[in-house]
A = this chain, B = another copy of it.
Amino acid sequence: MRADGTVPGRISRVEGTVRIVGAGLLGASIGHALMRAGVDVALADTSRSQLRLAVDYGAGRAAAPGDAPALVVVCVPPDVVADVVEAELRAHPDAVVTDVASVKLQPLRELRERGVDLTRYIGSHPMAGRERGGAISARSDIFVGRPWVICRDGETSARDLALVESLALDLGAVPIEMTPEEHDRSVALVSHVPQVVASLLAARFVPAAAESLELAGQGVRDTTRIAHSAPELWVQILDANAAPVVEVLDALAADLAELSQALRRTDAPGSRRAIAEAIRRGNVGVERLPGKHGQRRHFVSFVVMIDDTAGQLGRLFGDLGELGVNVEDFRLEHSPGAPLGLAEIAVERSILETCVEGLEARGWRIASTDDD
């Protein structure tokens, strides 16, 4: 993809008008991205002010009565997805209708119970979002490189499937096929339960003394970062995916109770082993998460000390550029009151030595590397 957001040698694959129902964060972000790709985007929203905002922000034009969309993308809150999908299927008999809700089984079940003909409906879910919602937070880039789950079924035609896949591809996402059940169990594990855990942990800081929280480091900041998420959205997601979430939460509660029991009686036989085993299983589990490029093990990191002044990072990255180094990951660590920061840089293992030697030759102070 080029800096202007277009993909070299490729034109948009979605043809015809795309109607987006719900001009919040996801709807407006999809609209933005499609507009950049030259697609005619017709926006609809029950809130006139939200719609006007999204149009003002360049996410599309307001939908008109005569629109004949090829594709309808339903981007409304989880609890009204079924209603809106049903209405859109009825209103646009030639359109493929998809939705982007975080939960896939509940709306499908609801539509089936109502006896709606779902031949032209394909549920989908882009694994993208932000802590903040609303058209005002929309960004055309949030789908780039992210998985976009598509839940086809036996009735789905190849042509209709291709249209939804094109949408995902146009937005820079990676289409992945799953059943609604697989999808919902997966997101319970890697998204919904982590949200619950981060929120409950962060909630424990509410009654804490400010001095206690002063001791917080990067670890707990990372662990609770997503606790910034919006309650309004999450109550709907958790409600709609309650069964798979409860299943993981119960397993986690059992693990917690077991560990707590071991900690109550650390002298009892097997207690220390149970504690060590819990931490070790965490090691194994976290290693299974895909990293950047899905291949984190090829990368090693090192740390450079930088002054807290303008231009220092520019000089550092300028030097890295001159050395021909492609930075795979970067983390700036900076603690309260510190006069300088630590820049942790990940590079491919094969160029680590060149990189560290080159930076040292240019006067940078490098701490020991993670090359072990």
Whether A283 contacts B231 by the Cβ 8 Å rule is: yes
Q: Which of A66-74, A93-101, A305-313 contacts B (4 or more CB under 8 A)?
A: A305-313
A212 CB contacts on chain B under 8 angstroms: 182, 185-186, 189-190
- Of the candidates B202, B206, B221, B287, the one whose C-beta lies within 8 Å of that of A291 is B221
Quick one: copies of this chain in the complex? 2
Q: Mark A146-162, 1 if CB is under 8 A from B, else 0.
A: 11010000000000000
- Sorted from nearest, which 9 A-B pairs have the closest CB atoms? A145-B338, A314-B321, A199-B282, A311-B321, A145-B335, A186-B212, A203-B281, A205-B285, A202-B285
Whether A276 contacts B232 by the Cβ 8 Å rule is: yes
Decide if A250 is an interface residue (CB 8 Å cutoff).
Answer: yes
Decide if A228 is an interface residue (CB 8 Å cutoff).
Answer: yes
Decide if A229 is an interface residue (CB 8 Å cutoff).
Answer: yes
Q: Which of A44-52, A84-92, A258-266 contacts B (4 or more CB under 8 A)?
A: A258-266
**A272 and B239 contact, Cβ closer than 8 Å, known pairs A216-B290, A253-B260, A340-B1:** yes
Determine chain A's interface SS by DSSP, over half rule.
Answer: helix
A147-B214, A227-B279 are known; give 17 further A-B pairs, CB within 8 A: A1-B307, A144-B340, A145-B339, A176-B214, A191-B220, A194-B223, A199-B283, A203-B285, A204-B248, A224-B286, A229-B279, A229-B283, A234-B279, A249-B259, A249-B263, A256-B256, A311-B321
Whether B263 contacts A246 by the Cβ 8 Å rule is: yes
Interface CB pairs A-B, < 8 A, 15: A127-B215, A137-B372, A147-B215, A191-B217, A197-B223, A199-B278, A199-B282, A201-B282, A202-B282, A203-B282, A239-B266, A249-B260, A291-B336, A308-B326, A330-B331
Whether B205 contacts A286 by the Cβ 8 Å rule is: yes
A361 CB contacts on chain B under 8 angstroms: none
A132 CB contacts on chain B under 8 angstroms: 370, 372
A3 CB contacts on chain B under 8 angstroms: 305, 307, 363-365
Decide if A37 is an interface residue (CB 8 Å cutoff).
Answer: no
**A residues 222-277 touching B (CB-CB < 8 Å):** 222-232, 234-235, 238-239, 242, 245-246, 248-253, 255-257, 259-260, 263-264, 266, 272, 275-277
Q: Mark A323-347, 1 if CB is under 8 A from B, else 0.
A: 0111111111011111110100000
Decide if A367 is an interface residue (CB 8 Å cutoff).
Answer: yes
A139 CB contacts on chain B under 8 angstroms: 303, 367-368
Decide if A208 is an interface residue (CB 8 Å cutoff).
Answer: yes
Decide if A322 is an interface residue (CB 8 Å cutoff).
Answer: yes
The minimal Cβ–Cβ distance linking A317 to chain B, given in whole angstroms, is 4
* CA gap between A224 and B193 in the complex, in Å: 12
Whether B368 contacts A224 by the Cβ 8 Å rule is: no
A144 CB contacts on chain B under 8 angstroms: 305, 335, 338, 340, 342
